[in-house]
Amino acid sequence: MAMASLARRRAAEAVLLRRMQATAAWASAWRGYAAAPGEESDVVVIGGGPGGYVAAIKAAQLGLKTTCIEKRGALGGTCLNVGCIPSKALLHSSHMYHEAKASFAHHGIKFSNLEIDLPAMMSQKDKAVAGLTKGIEGLFKKNKVEYVKGFGKFVSPSEVSVDLLDGGSTTIKGKNIVIATGSDVKSLPGVTIDEKKIVSSTGALALSEIPKKLVVIGAGYIGLEMGSVWNRLGSEVTVVEFAPDIVPSMDGEIRKQFQRMLEKQKMKFMLKTKLVGVDTSGSGVKLTVEPAAGGEQSILECDIVLVSAGRVPYTAGLGLDSIGVETDKGGRVLVDKRFMTNVKGVYAIGDAIPGPMLAHKAEEDGVACVEFIAGKEGHVDYDTVPGVVYTHPEVASVGKTEEQVKASGVAYQVGKFPLLANSRAKAIDDTEGLVKVVAEKETDRILGVHIMAPNAGEIIHEAVLALQYGASSEDVARTCHAHPTVSEALKEACLQTYLKAIHI
C-alpha cells in the first residue's frame, strides 16, 4: 500500500511538473518577439481595432518586436465588438425572419406560429462576436504579439503609460508608436445618450425588447442598417435627416432608388428636418423637430431614439498635446504619406486620421504603415476603397459617382442593367436593384461602379479590382462570368457602357 501511495504521489508530481513546463513553454512562445519588462519594442500599437490589430500582426510578421495596447479588454475594436460584426449578425437574423414572414409562402413553404425569440437572436450575435475576438487573441499568440490590456497615453514620443485593466500601471517603450484608437459616436447638442431611451448604435445592438416606434436621427450607413433591423422585426421606423438626401456620398440615381426601396419596406423619412428638442420625462420620448430652413415645429413620439449622426476620432486623453502631435479642428491626427505625424517615430492610422471611417480602410492603413516602418514600401489607394450599406438589397459602390465625374468636366458614358433582367435574380425572386457603371468616354476606363442588389457587397470587389488596374468597361464585359449569377448584371452593365447589353 505504501509503495502504491508513493507511486501515485510521484506520478502526480510528474504530471504537475509537465504542466509547469508546458506553461513556461507557452509563456515563452507567447512573448516571442514581445519585449521583456523594460525592453524597448520595435513597434507599439495603441488600439486593438481593425487597424491596430492588423498593424500589430503585420509588424510581427515583418520581424519586429511588437506590443499592442487595448483599453477594451477585447480585441477587434468598435467594429467587431459593437459595430460591423454584431450589426451584420442582426441584419442577417432579421432578414431571415422577414423572409419567413413575407416571402416563404410564395416559394411554397408554409407554416404557422412564426415568432421572434429576441434573446436567442442576441445570443447568436454575442456568440459570433466572442468567437472572433478570441480568434484575434489566437492570432496574436501565433504571431508573437504582446497584448497589454489597458488605457495607454503618451508620456514621451517613445513611451506610453498604461493604466492596466487589472489594476496598477506600466510603461511601454517603443522605437515606433502607432496611434490606432479608432472613433467614437458623435453626439448632438442637447441630446444625452443614456443607452436606454436614447441610444447610440451600441445600444441599438442590445435592446431587450422590440420598440413599437423607433426614430433614427441620421440617414447614413449605420442609421439605415440599424433602422432596417428593427423595421423588419416589427418596429415603426422614422428616419430624421437634416440634409436633403439620405447617404449624401451615394450616387444620386442609386440613392433615389434605394430610398424608394426602403420606403417600400415601410420605413419613413423626414428629410431637411432638424431636431430641436428632446423630452424623456414620460414613459417614452418626445422629439421636437422643425424644417432645416426654419418653420413650424412638430412632435414625434417614440419608444427609442437612435442617434446616428456620424462618428468622431477617438484621440482625446492620449496625451498628444504633451508630445506636440498636430491634429485638425475635428481631432483627427495629421500625417504624411507614410502615416507619420509631425513627431518623429509617432504614426497614426484608420479613423484617427482624415479619410473614410471604414474598418477595411483602417486595415489597409495599418499594413502600409508598418511596411514603411520596416523600411519597405506601403500603399493605400483611397480612390478604390469600396463602401457598402448592408440593408436588403445591399448597396455597394467604388470610385466616383456620376455627379462627381460630371463636375470634373470629363466626358463620360454610363451603362446600366436592371436586376429585373438578370436570370439569377428572377430565379430567386429578388429583383430589386440595378448595376450602374460610369466610364471615361475617350478611353472607356471605368471611373465608378454602383450596385444595388442582393450581396452587392460581394460583387463590388470585381469592380474594385477593375479600378485598381485601370480596366475598361470592355475588359470586364469580355470576361466570362458564371451563369446564372447576379454578378452577370455587372458584365451586362459594362456591355451597355461601351456597346450594348445582350439581355435588355
Question: How many CA atoms are closer than 13 Å to the CA of 133, on its beta-carbon side?
Answer: 25
Domain of 48, CATH number, reads 3.50.50.60
Beta-carbon count within 10 A of 239 CB = 26
Q: Which of 258, 290, 309 finishes a domain?
A: 309
Whether residue 347 is annotated as binding a ligand: the answer is no
**pLDDT classification of 38: cutoffs 50, 70, 90:** low
- Read off the pLDDT band of 39 (50, 70, 90): confident
Burial of 339 (0-12, 13-18, 19+ CB in 10 A): buried
In a domain, 439, yes or no: yes
Per-residue model confidence (pLDDT) at position 166:
96
Q: Are residues 357 and 393 in the same domain?
A: no
How many whole angstroms separate alpha carbon 454 and alpha carbon 439? 24
Is 241 assigned to a binding site? Answer: yes
In contact, 350 and 184? CB cutoff 8 Å: no
Residue 503 · residue 497 · CB < 8 Å: no
Sheet-wide strand order for 268-270? 198-199, 304-307, 213-217, 236-240, 268-270
139 is in an annotated binding site: no
Domain annotation covers residue 463: yes
CATH of the domain at 399: 3.30.390.30
**According to the annotation, is 88 in a ligand binding site?**
yes
**What is the span of the domain harbouring residue 409?**
387-498
Residue 330 has pLDDT above 70, yes or no: yes
pLDDT at 4 over 60: no
- Are residue 67 and residue 175 in the same domain, yes or no? yes
User: Is 34 one of the annotated binding-site residues?
Assistant: no
Q: Is the pLDDT of residue 201 over 80?
A: yes
pLDDT at 33 over 50: no
Angle at 171 between CA 169 and CA 173, to 5 degrees: 160
* Residue 384, Cβ density class (10 Å: 0-12 exposed, 13-18 middle, ≥19 buried): middle
- Structural domain ending residue among the three candidates 350, 374, 398: 374
Q: Are residues 412 and 400 in the same domain?
A: yes
> 248-252 — which CB contacts under 8 Å span 24+ positions?
249/387, 249/401, 250/395, 250/397, 250/401, 250/450, 251/397, 251/401, 251/402, 251/403, 251/436, 251/448, 251/450, 252/401, 252/402, 252/403
Distance CA 461, CA 490 (A): 11
171 and 68 co-located in one domain: yes
371 grid coordinates: 511596411
Q: Give yes or no for residue 8 having a pLDDT over 60.
A: no
pLDDT band at residue 28, thresholds of 50, 70 and 90?
Answer: very low
Q: Do 316 and 298 sit in the same domain of this protein?
A: no
Domain identity same for 339 and 393: no
Residue 12 lies in a domain: no
Work out the average pLDDT over 351-358. Answer: 97
Cα–Cα distance between 467 and 437 in angstroms, integer? 11
Of the residues 274, 290, 309, which one is the last residue of a structural domain?
309
Q: Give 161-174 pLDDT, tens digit per residue.
A: 999 999 999 999 99
Whether residue 215 lies inside any domain: the answer is yes
Domain count, the chain: 3
On whether 475 is known to bind a ligand per the annotation, the reply is: no
Residue 225 grid coordinates = 442598417
User: Same domain for 178 and 238?
Assistant: no
Pairs from 296-299 (Cβ < 8 Å, separation ≥ 24): none
pLDDT-derived band at 26 (thresholds 50, 70, 90) equals very low
**What is the average pLDDT value for the chain, to the nearest integer?**
93
The pLDDT tens digits of the residues spanning 118-138 come to 999 999 999 999 999 999 999
Q: Based on the domain organization, do 305 and 348 belong to the same domain?
A: no
On whether 182 is known to bind a ligand per the annotation, the reply is yes
Whether the bond into 418 is cis, omega within 30 of 0: no
146 and 233 housed in the same domain: no
179 and 211 fall within a common domain: no
Average pLDDT of the residues in 50-74: 98
- 255, part of any domain: yes
Residues 15-28 have a mean pLDDT of 43
- Classify residue 402: in a domain, yes or no: yes
Asked whether residue 390 is marked as a ligand-binding residue, the answer is no
Q: pLDDT tens, 377-418?
A: 999 999 999 999 999 999 999 999 999 999 999 999 999 999
Judged against a pLDDT cut of 70, whether residue 30 lies above it is answered with no
Annotated binding residue at 152? yes
Q: Are residues 268 and 350 in the same domain?
A: no
pLDDT one-digit tens code per residue, 204-259? 999 999 999 999 999 999 999 999 999 999 999 999 999 999 999 999 999 999 99
Q: How would residue 6 be classed by pLDDT, with cut points 50, 70 and 90?
A: very low
- Does residue 9 carry a pLDDT above 90? no
Residues 6+ apart with CB under 8 A from 283: none
As a whole number, mean pLDDT of residues 137-146 equals 98
SS3 of 95-124: the string is: HHHHHHHHCHHHHCCCCCCCCCCHHHHHHH
Q: What distance in Å separates the CA atoms of residue 350 and residue 401, rounded to the nearest whole number?
A: 23
Active site residues per annotation: 483
Q: Is the peptide bond before 484 cis (omega within 30 degrees of 0)?
A: yes
Q: Say which DSSP state 35 is in.
A: P
The answer to whether residue 21 sits within a structural domain is: no
- Is 221 assigned a ligand-binding role in the annotation? yes
In this prediction, residue 37 carries a pLDDT of 55
Cα distance between residue 157 and residue 137, in whole Å: 27
DSSP per residue, 307-347: E-S-EEE--TTS-HHHHT--B-TTSPBP--TTSB-SSTTEE
Q: Is there a domain that residue 73 lies in?
A: yes
Extended beta strands in 166-284, E state: 169-179, 183-185, 198-199, 213-217, 236-240, 268-270, 273-279
Same domain, 467 and 364: no
Angle between helices 50-61 and 359-373 (to 10 degrees): 30
pLDDT digits (tens, 9 = 90+) for 430-485: 999 999 999 999 999 999 999 999 999 999 999 999 999 999 999 999 999 999 99
357 is in an annotated binding site: yes
301 is in an annotated binding site: no
